[in-house]
């Protein structure tokens, strides 16, 4: 009788899986993953649940098989009567189960597990076919809001087999405001825009894109006649037309001037620079201005600060001499316009003195191979691989083996002077390469052959600097992440919103809002030999960048497709410098030096006249910068900086000692103008031009003139201070628009 039952179960398994036997790797594990059994909240937790532990999302099939079939004396399986196995009775609720009922006895999941047990619970073997890729059908769809769309997931195996795995795939929506997807692959369109749906199966990810056009009636002529200054505009308008999103018109010269100064050099234009630009009637005056800004010394200051954020130049982690050397190294390369690929190669392969070669301090900040690998990947590829340190990455394709192969590229990096704390000693270290040393992978107890994430492995016996082939692989034009990562970072600096959000998160399951645009812009950077100024020039000269931030009828709610410029609050350092420039009262900064263990911190003033954007590092005593969300440079993540408004910021502007103290200073701009100008109307105009770069409206001017006439003596000075305060606390000043 038992023999007949086994035959029947084998027949069922064959019908379910279209193959002769049930595979633990390709049939059983997908069931456990789909049902959440090996998730982090269940048996996939580090310590497991209820005495039963599985690898997270099935990244280690062999240990999962052992724990299921051999651990606890094999009590989870009953070979002679599969239906009595705990692997079936618990998830069906026959036996109490804290995880609840996961499937029923008449489900396909139950039949697959039952058939596998009946076949003898065969173990995975190295010859098992493996999933090579996953595709979603259809790849692209246009679906109106309120409608639904079913998706099919097809897995491609190493033996050439294609299998419908929709039932075992796990689905997520990349844009929950546009699409929702259930775990059967049924997509519900709930909003307008574009979204991507991802399907995860056996650590492989497939993507389908869903377009839900906005309910606007837009004349096609609008897209045809809209300004197109370069390829960026072509690709943006192509998507806007597909989405029925009307583009906003170009911004006025006054608005463009303020915007491009702040975005390119982090500084407000002077009143003289404003007057010269507005008086220029040349058709190419915007392009000419862009070229001039890209050559200014303030450009070097601003972008040195940006890359210092990325590389964590921080006086709480490095000694003073090392901080200065690292900063000056970055600044020299920005000043020389070093191509980005060369810049990154210099960092990755740095060696020698930490004072003579500032780039070596990247390795002083990250002193073990794992941290070196994680931060290099995050900074230069936009990939967070930290999850793969303990198990296969749950949201990406990177495996635990790949993580340790990648980290092993850094296993021979050594330094004289490392003591576990970058603040100890005098900060002078010599970075060198050891001739031996491997990083042991905890799970296997052995080292992995050193290899880039998708690159060729290096033999253990090779005696060269392993970072050299890493740098070659990372900066190669064919690397699918390198050019895209820096392109996305630069794009987000100018548009406030990256083509991929978050900017640090370029995983496959987090696709770009406009894939064609990101690919084309990254390709452009490669064609220009990674010259970041050429990339910036293309962005700044595009009509897309030069659009007004004012909404057009129909594009009021969109925030990802660049139908207009998105206003954003000025970054803390730029805002503080703007306040100093307008009032003509420089800010005094104090550097916090950490001389070493057991020694109290020392506060040293920066040279007088130092701008916030020229500060070496984030270890600066400044309530304003802290309040307005400066980057503390603790971890490699854009999330370290925030431009979100807060009540603390409002209170600081209203009652703090930064803006108010500068306005009350005796010899500031206000005092000079009041001494020079007797015409109240011109005094008011100067205030508007200095802060907002525009003349006051007639209504604004009339109301202020009436108030000025009623003021006498010291009250007049107070009134002018209040005028400047009101302008500098307005959104028009605090935001770039």
Please state the three-class secondary structure of 227-253 as a single string: CCCCHHHHHHHHHHHHCCCCCCCECCH
Identify the DSSP state of 46.
Answer: T
List the 148-150 sheet strands across, edge first. 148-150, 186-189, 179-181
Name residue, tokens 């929950």: 176
* Integer angstrom CA distances of residue 695 from 67, 525, 688: 75, 39, 6
Distance from C-alpha of 603 to C-alpha of 619, rounded to nearest angstrom? 10
Q: What pLDDT, on a 0 to 100 scale, did the predictor assign at position 420?
A: 44
Q: What pLDDT, on a 0 to 100 scale, did the predictor assign at position 108?
A: 92
Closest CA relative to residue 380, chosen from 413, 326, 407, 340 = 340
Would strands 430-433 and 413-416 be described as parallel, antiparallel, or unpaired? antiparallel
Q: At what angle do helices 572-583 and 669-676 cross, to 10 degrees?
A: 30
Say how far residue 471 (Cα) sits from the centre of its chain.
21
User: C-alpha angle 228/229/230, rounded to 5°?
Assistant: 100
Residue 325 tokens, joined: 């050397």
Name residue, tokens 């270290």: 429
Name the strand (E) or helix (H) holding 342: helix 340-348
Q: What phi, psi does 172 have (nearest 5°)?
A: -140, 155
Distance from C-alpha of 732 to C-alpha of 726, rounded to nearest angstrom? 10
**Under 8 Å between Cβ of 210 and 143:** yes
Q: What phi, psi does 509 have (nearest 5°)?
A: -80, 10
Contacts of 541 (CB under 8 A, 6+ apart): 229, 230, 286, 287, 290
Say how far residue 459 (Cα) sits from the centre of its chain.
33
Distance from C-alpha of 623 to C-alpha of 613, rounded to nearest angstrom? 15
User: Is the CATH number of domain 131-212 2.60.40.1080?
Assistant: yes
User: C-alpha angle 228/234/238, rounded to 5°?
Assistant: 125
437: left (phi over 0), alpha (psi -120 to 50) or beta: left
Name residue, tokens 């390829």: 231
**Under 8 Å between Cβ of 547 and 249:** yes
Contacts of 669 (CB under 8 A, 6+ apart): 582, 583, 584, 690
Instruction: Domain ranges for the chain, please list them.
Output: 2-118, 131-212, 339-474, 568-641, 666-736
Does residue 142 sit in helix, strand or coil?
A: strand
Residue 396 tokens, joined: 């990406």
* Integer angstrom CA distances of residue 711 from 675, 676, 706, 717: 16, 18, 9, 9
Q: What pLDDT, on a 0 to 100 scale, did the predictor assign at position 423?
A: 47
Distance from C-alpha of 273 to C-alpha of 242, rounded to nearest angstrom? 40
Closest CA relative to residue 33, chosen from 196, 125, 177, 168 = 168
Distance from C-alpha of 96 to C-alpha of 456, rounded to nearest angstrom? 49
Closest CA relative to residue 151, chosen from 197, 192, 108, 107 = 197
Reported pTM: 0.89
Contacts of 105 (CB under 8 A, 6+ apart): 88, 92
**Under 8 Å between Cβ of 298 and 612:** no
Distance from C-alpha of 376 to C-alpha of 635, rounded to nearest angstrom? 12
Closest CA relative to residue 139, chosen from 209, 239, 186 = 209
Residue 593 tokens, joined: 């030096």
Residue 634 tokens, joined: 């603790």
Contacts of 647 (CB under 8 A, 6+ apart): none
**Under 8 Å between Cβ of 53 and 47:** yes
Contacts of 151 (CB under 8 A, 6+ apart): 136, 137, 138, 166, 171, 181, 185, 186, 187, 197, 199, 208
Distance from C-alpha of 576 to C-alpha of 660, rounded to nearest angstrom? 13
Residue 387 tokens, joined: 């999850």
Name residue, tokens 């949201």: 395
Consecutive 10-residue averages of pLDDT for the chain (737 residues): 45 46 90 86 82 83 89 83 91 89 91 92 90 93 94 95 93 91 94 92 90 92 95 97 96 97 97 96 97 98 96 88 93 98 97 94 92 93 85 72 92 78 64 92 91 91 93 94 96 96 86 95 98 98 98 93 96 96 94 58 81 89 90 82 85 90 94 91 95 95 89 82 96 95
* Integer angstrom CA distances of residue 670 from 31, 575, 722: 72, 19, 11
């Amino acid at each position: 009788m038992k023999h007949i039952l086994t035959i029947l179960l084998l027949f069922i398994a064959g019908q379910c899986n279209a193959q002769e036997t049930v595979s633990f790797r390709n049939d059983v594990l997908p069931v456990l993953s789909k049902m959440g059994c090996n998730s982090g909240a269940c048996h996939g937790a580090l310590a497991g649940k209820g005495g039963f532990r599985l690898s997270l999302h099935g990244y280690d099939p062999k240990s999962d098989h052992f724990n299921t079939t051999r651990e606890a004396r094999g009590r989870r399986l009953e070979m002679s009567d599969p239906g009595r196995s705990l692997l079936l009775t618990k998830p069906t609720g026959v036996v109490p189960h804290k995880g609840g009922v996961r499937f029923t006895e008449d489900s396909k999941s139950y039949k697959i597990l039952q058939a596998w047990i009946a076949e003898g619970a065969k173990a995975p073997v190295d010859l098992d076919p493996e999933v090579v890729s996953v595709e979603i059908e259809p790849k692209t769809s246009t679906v109106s809001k309120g409608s639904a769309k079913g998706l099919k997931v097809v897995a491609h195996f190493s033996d050439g087999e294609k299998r419908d795995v929709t039932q075992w795939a796990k689905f997520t929506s990349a844009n929950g405001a546009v699409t929702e997807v259930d775990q059967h692959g049924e997509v519900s369109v709930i909003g307008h825009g574009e979204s991507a749906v991802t399907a995860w199966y056996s650590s492989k990810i497939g993507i389908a894109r869903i377009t839900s056009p906005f309910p606007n009636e837009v004349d096609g002529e609008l897209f045809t006649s809209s300004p197109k200054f370069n390829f960026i505009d072509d690709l943006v308008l192509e998507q806007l037309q597909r989405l029925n999103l009307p583009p906003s018109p170009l911004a006025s010269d006054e608005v463009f001037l303020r915007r491009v100064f702040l975005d390119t050099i982090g500084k407000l234009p002077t009143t003289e620079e404003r007057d010269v630009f507005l008086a220029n009637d040349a058709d190419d005056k915007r392009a000419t201005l862009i070229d001039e800004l890209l050559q200014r010394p303030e450009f070097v200051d601003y972008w040195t600060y940006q890359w210092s954020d990325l590389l964590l130049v921080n006086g709480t982690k490095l000694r003073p001499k090392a901080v200065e050397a690292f900063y000056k190294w970055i600044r020299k390369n920005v000043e020389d316009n070093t191509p980005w690929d060369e810049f990154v190669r210099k960092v990755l392969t740095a060696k020698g003195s930490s004072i003579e070669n500032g780039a070596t301090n990247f390795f002083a900040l990250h002193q073990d191979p794992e941290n070196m690998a994680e931060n290099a990947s995050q900074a230069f590829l936009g990939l967070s691989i930290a999850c793969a340190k303990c198990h296969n990455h749950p949201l990406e394709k990177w495996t635990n083996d790949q993580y340790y192969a990648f980290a092993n590229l850094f296993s021979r990096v050594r330094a004289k002077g490392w003591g576990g704390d970058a603040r100890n000693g005098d900060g002078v270290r010599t970075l060198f390469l050891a001739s031996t040393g491997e990083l042991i992978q905890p799970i296997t107890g052995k080292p992995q052959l050193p290899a880039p994430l998708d690159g060729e492995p290096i033999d253990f016996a090779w005696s060269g600097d392993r970072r050299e082939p890493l740098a070659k692989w990372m900066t190669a034009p064919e690397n699918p992440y390198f050019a895209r990562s820096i392109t996305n970072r630069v794009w987000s600096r100018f548009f406030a919103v990256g083509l991929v959000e978050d900017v640090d998160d370029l995983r496959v399951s987090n696709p770009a809002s406009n894939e064609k645009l990101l690919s084309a812009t990254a390709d452009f950077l490669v064609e220009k030999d990674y010259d970041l100024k050429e990339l910036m020039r293309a962005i700044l000269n595009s009509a897309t960048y030069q659009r007004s931030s004012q909404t057009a009828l129909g594009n009021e709610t969109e925030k990802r497709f660049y139908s207009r410029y998105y206003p954003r609050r000025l970054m803390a350092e730029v805002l503080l410098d703007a306040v100093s420039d307008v009032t003509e009262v420089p800010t005094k900064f104090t550097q916090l030096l950490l001389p070493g263990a057991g020694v109290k911190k020392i506060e040293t003033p920066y040279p007088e006249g130092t701008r916030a954007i020229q500060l070496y590092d984030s270890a600066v005593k400044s309530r304003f910068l802290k309040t307005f969300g400066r980057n503390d440079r603790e971890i490699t993540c854009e999330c370290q900086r925030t431009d979100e408004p807060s009540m603390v910021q409002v209170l600081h502007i209203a009652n703090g000692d930064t803006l108010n103290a500068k306005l009350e200073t005796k010899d500031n701009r206000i005092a000079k103008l009041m001494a020079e100008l007797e015409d109240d109307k011109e005094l008011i105009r100067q205030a508007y031009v200095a802060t907002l770069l525009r003349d006051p409206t007639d209504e604004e001017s009339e109301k202020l003139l009436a108030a000025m006439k009623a003021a006498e003596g010291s009250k007049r000075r107070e009134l002018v201070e209040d005028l400047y305060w009101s302008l500098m606390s307005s959104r028009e000043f605090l935001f770039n628009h």
